[in-house]
Chain A
Amino acid sequence: MTSTDQQPFLSVRDLKVHFSTEDGIVKAVDGLSFDLLKGKTLGIVGESGSGKSVTNLAILGLHDRDRTAIEGEILLDDKELLTASEKQLERLRGNKMSMIFQDALASLSPYHTIGKQISETYRKHTGASKSQSRARAIEMLRRVGIPQPEVRVDDYPHQFSGGMRQRAMIAMALVCDPELLIADEPTTALDVTVQAQIMDLLKDLQQEFGTSIVFITHDLGVIADIADDVLVMYGGRCVERGTKREVLRSPQHPYTLGLLSSMPNLEHPVDVPLNPIPGSPPSLLNPPTGCRFHPRCTFAEKVEGGLCSKEQPPLEVTNGRGSACHLTADQRAEFFTDLAGSAAN
């Protein structure tokens, strides 16, 4: 739950990330704000091109500085990251904040042993000796559930299976006890049974270390499992946010509702066709005017005066709960009931 008396650990204010490309300016993130408390998990949901990964590259300062224009504020423990020098960021990355990526094989160096890659981070940030950092690497591998860590520490990434690589990457990300962990689709490439193992591992480690996690995914099922708060992104903007319960049980934005009702679950009546969202995600080179979801929204025509295509709905947030939609609360109550009934059972 969001409480106001606690200082947010990570705070993003009106973040804008624009890339200049040959075809024009891509507004990958266009005015995003959120707070994350210590020891909590924020789930960011969105489709490809919704700006969820770009947000996190910006937090870590991993974007291409020459081609990217960033505005806004990113405060990590009251320290401004956007104006920080590359040196300062380097000290923070891997130490205070770290990241897990989707494709573990591509994120590990094939030429170095797992143990070397884990201990390198540790040595760089703590100045520990080779033997100390090796011991630390073995300890971390044990922590993430790799069998025989004293032996496996000398293996190369290709000798690990997919799930083990993802574990090794988690070990590498957590080796310096970071306070912020950004996980970008960490389980998408994994099988469901392995995914379940990794999610449990992340939850255990979070409890043990009190890490704050930003968890990026397209899968609402994964969100339901791990997140405390949820932020739904569409076309570079936040369309809805709130606690997991609020967003999944009583969605306020038609896009969230659409996502929930388009997914089959294990209880969905089989004779009822799925309820897809029509159309496809917008191009960020040339986003739709007004609300970016309006060309695909079933309710756009119900708003008077064609407001949805003219005016961008503001995101009004009270106590961490809010959505950016022109529909009034009464209209929502009227239109959403039948759909929500089938989605949230």
Chain B
Amino acid sequence: MSSTTPLLDVSGLTKHFPIKGGFPIRRTVGAVQAVDGLDFQVAEGESLGLVGESGCGKSTTGRLITRLLEPTGGRIAYRGEDITHAGRKQLAPIRSEIQMIFQDPYASLNPRQTVGKIISGPMEINDIHPAGGREARVRELLEIVGLNPEHYNRFPHEFSGGQRQRIGVARALALEPKLIVADEPVSALDVSIQAQVVNLLQKVQRDLGIAFVFIAHDLAVVRHFSQRVAVMYLGRIVEIADRDDLYGNPRHPYTRALLSAVPEATVQDEGVQGRERIRLVGDVPSPINPPSGCRFRTRCWKATEKCATEAPPLVQVEGNKPGHLTACHYPETTDVPATVPAPRLAKDPEAAA
């Protein structure tokens, strides 16, 4: 990280959703610990990928950054300005610089508004009058995202899923944002369309120098899109690193297991050793009552007493490059791939050799 102020600086970010229960007086009886102490930075023009399985808190993180949710604790600073608990007034100018792209292109566009109205909406709200008028600006935006400017007066239902997602991108670009939070922007699209949208986002990011927080569960897409990647598990970041370090030298057992579980469309020759296969047993525990210490320990094949009592800090463990942080007491090493055969780990005998 450079020494200048990062665009977005998040430290200790926490969000607990209260669970109400009891009769006749409803009390808070517990909390879903959706996000629990996140630290990360996003530099200007950089793309940070957030990956993890469902329920790991990645979408909540996105909504906290855009302040659609109120954090329970921690600090969010945008260009050095603390916006953790900022009110509507204080947020107004910042809101136009942080935009969001949503997963479902069917649910995130108002079916009763024309494309022109949808895309100019943000300009109306912020009372922006671009030179040449809003309509000209909308047409320009449609052009940028690869849609026909003549479609200005059409309604969302006249477009396919991929085209709708392009409309969502155009809307996010309308205010010339500095940061875009994209929450699973391609996962609702058909395979052949996903690549179109990924390419579009990449072009937008490069040409306009917009920083991205790219939330996705697809590791291959995240690798393609993000310069830095953070892996989340049950509300915490377990590993964060530059793309090449994370995918080339994963140190956290969870990162490793996640990478090995990605199905690849390749056929191995017989006798050729395939990729490492780590099969985790069981499911992600409930965030209402997460395991003590390291949250991954219930599915980890290396877990010991220490993991149950002491939460590992997110630090640069031995052998990591600067900026590569891992939260594990027993980080993996490249030369010995997951050797510990424990009952928790089901491994393919072929790949173990």
Contacts and interface: CB of A to CB of B under 8 A. Distances in A.
Contacts, number: 134
B193 interface: yes
Contacts of A266: 219-220, 223, 247, 259, 262, 264
Interface string B183-203: 000000011111110110011
B263 interface: yes
Contacts of B194: 262-263, 276
B318 interface: no
Nearest to B260: A196
B241 to A, nearest CB: 14
A296 B223 CA distance: 27
Contact of B261 (A161, A192, A249, A345): A192
Given A218-B191, A266-B247, A276-B192, A196 B261 contact: yes
Contact of B267 (A47, A244, A265): A244
B192 A258 contact: yes
Interface string B236-276: 00000001000100000000011111111111000000000
A276 B346 contact: no
A224 B265 CA distance: 5
Given A48-B190, A194-B283, A259-B191, A264 B221 contact: yes
A277 B192 contact: yes
Nearest to B244: A270
A344 interface: yes
A278 B243 contact: no
B346 A264 contact: no
Interface string B282-313: 01100000000000000000000000000000
B279 A248 contact: no
A18 B201 CA distance: 38
B190 A281 contact: yes
A262 B263 contact: no
A317 interface: no
B198 A264 contact: yes
Contacts of A197: 279-281
A341 interface: no
Contacts of B162: 280
Interface in B66-83: none
Given A193-B258, A274-B195, A280-B193, A161 B283 contact: yes
A191 interface: yes
A268 B198 CA distance: 14
B110 interface: no
Nearest to A197: B279
B260 to A, nearest CB: 8
A316 interface: no
B202 A262 contact: no
A157 B54 CA distance: 19
B196 to A, nearest CB: 4
B224 interface: yes
Tell me the interface secondary structure of chain A in the complex.
helix
Contacts of B135: none
Interface residues of A, number: 48
Contacts of B280: 193, 196-197
A200 interface: yes
A196 B347 CA distance: 11
B195 A263 contact: yes
B196 A200 contact: no
A276 B186 CA distance: 13
B217 interface: yes
Interface string A174-206: 000000000000000001111111011000000
Contacts of B243: 270
A223 interface: yes
B223 to A, nearest CB: 6
A163 B280 CA distance: 12
B50 to A, nearest CB: 15
A259 B272 CA distance: 25
Interface of A: 47-48, 161-164, 191-197, 199-200, 218-225, 244-245, 248-249, 258-260, 262-266, 268, 270, 273-278, 280-281, 296, 344-345
Interface of B: 53-54, 160-163, 190-196, 198-199, 202-203, 217, 219-221, 223-224, 243, 247, 257-267, 277, 279-281, 283-284, 346
Task: Please provide the 6 A-B residue pairs with the shortest distance between their CB atoms, ordered closest to farther.
Answer: A221-B263, A276-B195, A220-B265, A191-B53, A262-B195, A274-B195
27 contacts: A191-B53, A191-B284, A192-B258, A193-B261, A195-B263, A196-B261, A196-B263, A196-B277, A196-B279, A199-B263, A218-B190, A219-B263, A224-B264, A248-B267, A259-B191, A260-B265, A262-B195, A263-B195, A264-B220, A264-B221, A264-B223, A265-B265, A265-B266, A270-B224, A276-B194, A277-B193, A345-B266
